[in-house]
Structure formats: structure tokens, C-alpha cells
């Protein structure tokens, strides 16, 4: 069993929550891979450099200067800070981006209907399974930043949820995979203002109902879409939960089912 854990940006941005999460992650037994983002830090550094952050429908537009910033922040400062912390916790972590070892090859997103700039969508069949397998068999826990590369060699900013899904799907070819999306909420909520309204299970049909009713919206939609694609592609289980529940059996939160 391989665990692929994705940690949300709001936890990455909170030193206390991140420290607790990394302690729990380091304590997990067996092979594991951590995927992270970190949007607010990139926004703050962009501002300090006089680079304007442009968002469309909640998504960052990655022009050339912004690509330089997110590469430095995601694959540099955040990635190495997490790796360093895990090493002090006895976890033999190795930090890399999707560009390293051609772990994740992406195609640049089309400029129509919205031009998001240097943003990439992973090509699942080009996942670098040999790179991942070699490093894991070498005793490393991979810590992956969401910077990928095109076949032409262009660096691309990539959604971290999708990176986690791509890795989970790729690794499922050689072992059973458990994909866990950890963020600041208790799971998928029936009422976004009520942390106790966690939906314990969601099927594709129920997901369609929730979208139609506007109960799930914005960032939760791509997260759930990624989760269901992972299950459909052979990932054993997907859970969406609070980062503080990683040490608990079953993680609490919301489990995704095929039917």
C-alpha cells in the first residue's frame, strides 16, 4: 500500500498546523508521498517584488514573472522547508518537483476560453513511474511541489490536487494506493459554515446532485472531480479530511465511493 497525501495551502501557510501535520505524516508507516502547494506565500513574495497577482475565478494567472516566483516558492522555499522538517522527524524525505526526473509531464493549458498563462495539465500516461519507484525503493519519502514541465521543456504551474491525483493513478499500476486530501475543513460539508455537517460518503451521482444544488462549489468541485477520476482509474480509496485527523484511524472526513 502506498499513501499519497496532499496538504492544502491554508495548512502550509500556518506554521503551527503544518508542524503538527508533518509530525503525523512522519509517523505514518509504509511507503508514502506528500504533495503540497502554497499560494499565499507566493502572493506575498510577488507583492514584495512588485509583481501583481491576477486571479480569474479563484485561479492564479501565471505570467512569466509569476512563474519565476511560484517556482522559487513552491519548489524552493516551501519544498525544502518541509523536507528539512521531515528529516528532523526521522523521515528520509527527498524534495522534488514534477519536472525532476520527468516525474510529471504536462501540456500547457489552451489560451481559450481563459488564458491562465504558464499553467499545465498533467498527461497521466507519461507519469514517471520509474523515477518514483526507484526513489521509493531507495528508501526515500517523496515531497512533491506542483511545478511540472512540458515535453518541450517549459516549466508550468500546476494544480496540486491534480498532481496528487496523477501520482496516485500512476502508482496504482504497481501497488494499491490510498489518496488523502488534507486541508483545513473537516471534510466535504453540507453547510460550509457548520464543521459538524460532514458528509461521510459521496458517490458520483450524489456529487452531481450537490453541484446542481450549489452545495459544493468553487475549489471543492475540482478537488472532488480529481478524487472521482482517481477512483475510476484504479486508486483503492480517496478521503478528504482535516489535516489534524491524519493520525486517526480512517482519517474521519469524507470517503469517496464509486457507487
* CA nearest neighbour of 11 among 24, 30, 29: 24
pLDDT score of 127: 98
Whole-structure pTM value: 0.94
Q: What confidence score (pLDDT) does residue 217 get?
A: 77
Could you tell me where the beta strands, DSSP code E, fall in 70-199? 93-97, 105-108, 120-122, 141-145, 147-150, 155-157, 177-183
Task: Tell me the mean pLDDT in the region 214-235.
Answer: 86
- pLDDT over 80 at 164, yes or no: yes
Q: Is the dihedral of CA 165, 71, 241, 189 positive or negative?
A: negative
- Please give the average per-residue pLDDT across 51-58, as a whole number: 84
Structure confidence at residue 24 (pLDDT): 98
- Is residue 139 pLDDT above 90, yes or no? yes
What is the predicted pLDDT for the residue at 85?
Answer: 98
Instruction: Determine the pLDDT at residue 59.
Output: 80
The rounded mean pLDDT for the chain is 93
Name the β-bridge partners of 178: 3, 237
pLDDT higher than threshold 80 for residue 62: yes
Instruction: Please report the pLDDT score of residue 169 as a whole number.
Output: 96
User: What's the mean pLDDT in 83-111?
Assistant: 97
Residue 175 has pLDDT above 80, yes or no: yes
Mean pLDDT of the region 92-96: 98
Q: Which domains, ranges and CATH numbers included, belong to the chain?
A: 2-256 (3.40.1160.10)
pLDDT of residue 57: 72
Classify the C-alpha dihedral 18-37-222-1 as positive or negative: negative
**Which pLDDT does position 216 carry in this prediction?**
85
pLDDT at 40 over 90: no
Reduced DSSP (H G I as helix, E B as strand, rest coil) percent helix, strand, coil of the chain, to 5:
40, 25, 35
Amino acid at each position: 500500500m502506498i499513501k499519497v497525501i496532499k496538504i492544502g495551502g491554508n495548512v502550509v501557510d500556518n506554521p503551527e498546523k503544518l508542524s503538527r501535520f508533518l509530525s503525523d505524516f512522519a509517523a505514518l508507516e509504509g511507503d508514502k508521498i506528500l504533495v503540497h502547494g502554497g499560494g499565499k506565500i507566493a502572493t506575498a513574495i510577488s507583492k514584495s517584488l512588485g509583481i501583481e497577482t491576477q486571479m480569474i475565478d479563484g485561479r492564479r494567472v501565471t505570467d512569466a514573472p509569476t512563474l519565476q516566483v511560484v517556482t522559487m516558492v513552491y519548489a524552493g522555499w516551501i519544498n525544502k522547508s518541509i523536507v528539512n522538517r521531515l528529516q528532523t522527524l526521522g523521515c528520509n524525505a527527498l524534495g522534488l518537483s514534477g519536472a525532476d526526473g520527468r516525474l510529471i509531464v504536462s501540456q500547457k493549458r489552451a489560451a481559450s476560453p481563459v488564458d491562465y498563462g504558464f499553467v499545465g495539465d498533467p498527461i497521466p500516461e507519461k507519469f514517471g513511474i520509474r523515477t518514483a519507484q526507484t526513489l521509493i525503493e531507495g528508501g526515500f519519502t517523496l515531497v512533491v511541489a506542483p511545478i511540472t514541465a512540458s515535453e518541450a521543456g517549459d516549466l508550468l504551474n500546476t494544480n496540486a490536487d491534480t498532481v496528487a491525483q496523477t501520482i496516485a493513478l500512476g502508482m496504482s499500476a504497481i501497488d494499491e494506493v490510498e489518496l488523502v486530501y488534507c486541508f483545513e475543513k473537516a471534510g466535504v460539508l453540507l453547510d460550509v459554515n457548520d464543521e459538524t455537517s460532514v458528509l461521510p460518503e459521496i458517490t458520483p451521482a450524489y456529487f452531481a446532485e450537490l453541484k446542481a444544488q450549489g452545495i459544493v462549489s468553487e475549489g471543492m468541485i475540482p478537488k472532488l472531480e480529481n478524487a472521482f477520476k482517481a477512483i475510476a482509474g484504479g486508486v483503492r480509496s480517496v478521503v478528504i479530511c482535516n489535516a489534524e485527523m491524519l493520525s486517526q484511524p480512517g482519517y474521519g472526513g469524507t470517503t469517496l465511493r464509486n457507487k
